[in-house]
Amino acid sequence: MTTSNILLQCLLLMAVVSLTVTALPPIPDPLSKVPNIPNPWLTFKNFSGCHMGENRTGLASMKKYLNDFGYLPSPLSNSNFSDSFDSEFQDAILSYQRHLGLNTTGYLDDKTIETMVSPRCGVPDIINGTYTHGRHLYTYFQGNPKWPTSTRDLKYALIATSASTIDVATLSDVFARAFSRWAAVIPMNFTETTSTVDADITIGFYNGSHGDGEAFDGPLGTLAHAFSPTDGRFHLDASETWIASGDVTESSSDVAVDLESVAVHEIGHLLGLGHSTVEGAIMYPTLTVRTRKVELVQDDVSGVQNLYGSNPDFKGVAPAGVAGEMDSSGSGEIIRARMGLGVAVTFLVLTFLY
């Protein structure tokens, strides 16, 4: 083979490689799913790909986020979180990924960031992890609090609605529907009352700081939070674009949040459920904007029936969905995840909230 032939073949090969490369589809931007709508956590997009040993300006804000939701202990007194991706942060990321049902990569992959930026419930995820043989399930609050057996008729009152633009009659309808979804599966009745004194559960809309140490953060970010039994407080961020009637998926607003979807979730907390790792469950911590999610799935039903038993009229959830992940044997096989000392320190703070 002559030198010119070799050269020619090399050129041909390069042309083929070049054609192959140009024929490839464009690489999609995985974070394009995160719209550039202002929200308290949007800057997390800047940490895409960040991994162990790196320093990224502002990473401390993500540590604060993980601290808020129970994954990372507070920094020692008189110090702040650093911007370094250290081993403690990696452990927190892995724990977050496990709790949110994500791939446990241990670094800030795009799916993890996309999930972190999503609007969500303000109740921390790590309270008292409940797992069955490594399968992810519903959880309960620390100590498994629930309404006593003598209490099967709960009264709720709308006590702070002036910060909402939705009329009270519409709000009443939305919350009645949300409560009825839980009443259908457990032997518990929910009735609205106008008497705050009689109410077991109180519901209100608030802006920013509102007296319980858990300030709301404006549009998106944290949407709402509720307290475990038998506290009964259920607070919603008044600055959200709440949709109480009509189809949220058809809303003209990019930041529309379906009120009933959030109400069904928060009522789960009022009954004693923590967050689930099952993405389709009502008790999963995040909710996508302009999305309606109001149907209890098997994981939610198993969790709440394990606390209160079944409504005799309940005929089951269809389709079966995550039935394969159920622990039908009750709590006997449930392994309680033990919290490390660091997380336990966080809980000293959280105990105040619950």
Q: The tokens 């010119």 sit on which residue?
A: 4
The interface region with Zn ion, picked from 113-121, 131-139, 170-178, 290-298 by CB under 5 A, is 113-121
CA atoms within 13 A on the CB side of 324: 1
Of the candidates 99, 136, 181, 235, which one interacts with Zn ion according to CB under 5 A?
A: 235
- CA torsion sign, 213 to 219 to 222 to 226? positive
Q: What are the Cα distances from residue 315, in Å, to 32, 263, 294, 301?
A: 41, 23, 18, 11
Q: Is 266 a catalytic residue?
A: yes
Q: Within its chain, how far is the Cα of 44 from the centroid?
A: 17
Per the annotation, does 121 bind a ligand? yes
The interface region with Zn ion, picked from 57-65, 114-122, 246-254, 298-306 by CB under 5 A, is 114-122
The interface region with Zn ion, picked from 96-104, 108-116, 119-127, 316-324 by CB under 5 A, is 119-127
- CA torsion sign, 253 to 169 to 202 to 162? positive
Say whether residue 123 binds Zn ion (CB under 5 A): yes
Of the candidates 117, 121, 238, 317, which one interacts with Zn ion according to CB under 5 A?
A: 121
Question: Which of 250, 266, 325, 333 is labelled catalytic?
Answer: 266
* Full 3-state SS string of 5-65: HHHHHHHHHHHHHHHHHHHCCCCCCHHHHCCCCCCCCHHHHHHCCCCCCCECCCHHHHHHH
Per the annotation, does 240 bind a ligand? yes
Length of the chain, please? Answer: 354
Nearer to Zn ion, 212 or 217 (CB): 212
* CA proximity to 204, closest of 232, 173, 241: 232
Say whether residue 68 binds Zn ion (CB under 5 A): no
Contact call for residues 257 and 129 (beta carbons, < 8 A): no
Distance of closest approach, residue 79 Cβ to Zn ion, in angstroms: 28
Q: Which of residues 188-217 bind Zn ion (CB under 5 A)?
A: 212, 214
Nearer to Zn ion, 48 or 269 (CB): 269
Contact call for residues 239 and 218 (beta carbons, < 8 A): yes
- Determine the residue with CB nearest Zn ion: 121
Distance of closest approach, residue 173 Cβ to Zn ion, in angstroms: 22
Interface residue list for Zn ion (CB under 5 A)? 121, 123, 212, 214, 235
What residues are annotated to the active site? 266
Binding-site residue set: 121, 200, 210, 212, 217-218, 225, 235, 237, 240, 265, 269, 275, 283
Binding-site residue set for Zn(2+): 121, 210, 212, 225, 235, 265, 269, 275, 283
